[in-house]
Amino acid sequence: MPRRADAAVAGRPGVVIAFTNARVIDPASGRDALGSVVVRDRVIESIDGAIPADARVIDCGERIVAPGLIDAGVFAADAPACLAGGITRVVLMPDRSPPLDDPALIEFAQRIGKPHVWVHPLAAGTQGLAGVELAEIGLCQEAGAVGVATGRGAIADAGVMLRLLQYASGFDLVVVTHAENAALTVGAVATAGEFATRLGLPAAPAFAEAIAVARDLRLAAATGARLHIRQVTTAESIDLVRAAKAAGTRVTCGVTPGHFLLGEQSVSGYRSFARLSPPLRHDDDRRAVLAGIADGTIDVVASGHDPRTQEDKRLPFADAAPGMVGAETLLALAGTLVRDHDMSWPALLATMTSAPAALFGLPGGRLEAGAPADLIVFDPGAPWRIDAQTMAAAAGNTPFDGLPMQGRVTMTVKGGEIAWTL
């Protein structure tokens, strides 16, 4: 069973840890070579330098040593799940009770994960996430917000969205959006098509996402604002983002493993654990997501970690809450892109380290002297099976329950401390 390391010992001031015989991958520079990493007093002291005589030496057996993962867009700062998944920083969505629309709430949110995980909150773009009145974005930024977000839903009023982008642009804050046209998706739980019809599920057309993406891209181009679409899940949306990037629009986008590994067939038997937001798509859309990751159109792979209780999920499909846990399984599931789709480990890890670090202006995401000592040891060949009953997460709502996996985090180091070991 996974266990948390004795941080009182591992993190004593002056303790030096040397990770030797490691496959050191730094996505920021593209480095991928055998070597060593020395950590001292919360920072990386050296890469391939001399091993200090007083160092605690950890032979990694040629396992991967990489920066700690940065999970962009979680709905809960679930420290046990994050550490088990190699995540040392999370970008927290504002969908809390109450929503993160006030500087005091932003300050409080940053303390949620201490001392185990760094939490970087996103401020609600509108008061109460109601999509009407703008929140105090500047004050929230001063309090520590690393961006602003529309939350689980989009802002329906284009005028409000325009003002949000204009306002955020003045602070150079990225605006994180949910891409669905609410007028088309209200009450829908599936993607329109033959499969949803056979199951009798209320459904919305896949182009409801592209309509929202197209609107926000046009507004971002007009304002010069930085736009991040948290999830793009359809071929049409990805084409729109690809074209906007080529035209110079300041846009990035992300996706979760559920939308490149699963399709609409995964809801067979009305499996409520496969009810996600956006809903699972047709297979041609899933393949388009894979292509978007491969060519760099999709910048960030994130877990979308959203623990739901049994009461939320053990309901008729249409009544169940959308969402899945994913922090603990993020890297293992994303690793299928390396094994099955010829993506390199540095390129994949960049989507979970250096890319979100650059997007939100965060420390970390790189392995170099002077960088924060947040790193993971990962065994890409380790076999295991996802078990919802034994996960470290606060809940077990994963559609991947029982899936055999290859590749597992064996150690997580946060702030120079061995925070978790397998």
Provide the pLDDT for residue 12.
52
**The pTM is what?**
0.95
* 119 vs 71: CA distance, rounded Å: 10
Residue whose token pair is 């941080």? 7
The burial class, CB within 10 Å (0-12 / 13-18 / 19+), for 223 is buried
CATH of 69-360, one of 3.20.20.140, 3.40.50.620, 3.40.640.10, 2.40.30.170: 3.20.20.140
Contact partners, residue 25, CB within 8 Å, separation at least 6: 31, 32, 64, 65, 66, 345, 346, 349, 367
Of residues 268, 386, 408, the one with CA closest to residue 331? 408
User: Residues 92, 78: contact at Cβ < 8 Å?
Assistant: no
Of residues 345, 232, 244, the one with CA closest to residue 291? 232
Provide the pLDDT for residue 15.
81
Q: What are the mean pLDDT values of the chain's consecutive 10-residue runs (422 residues total)?
A: 39 79 97 97 95 96 98 96 97 97 97 93 98 97 98 97 98 97 95 95 97 98 98 98 98 98 94 95 98 98 94 92 96 96 96 98 95 97 96 94 96 96 94
Domain ranges in the chain are 7-65+371-381+401-421, 69-360
Direct distance between the N- and C-terminal alpha carbons of the chain, in angstroms, rounded to an integer: 7
User: Residues 93, 74: contact at Cβ < 8 Å?
Assistant: yes
User: Residues 220, 249: contact at Cβ < 8 Å?
Assistant: yes
User: Residues 202, 192: contact at Cβ < 8 Å?
Assistant: no
**Enclosing H/E stretch for 107:** helix 103-110
Provide the pLDDT for residue 285.
98
Architecture of domain 7-65+371-381+401-421: Roll (2.30)
What is the secondary structure of 161-218 as a DSSP string? HHHHHHHHHHTT--EEE----HHHHTT--EESSHHHHHHT--EE-THHHHHHHHHHHH
Per-residue pLDDT tens over the stretch 318-366: 999 999 999 999 999 999 999 999 999 999 999 999 999 999 999 999 9
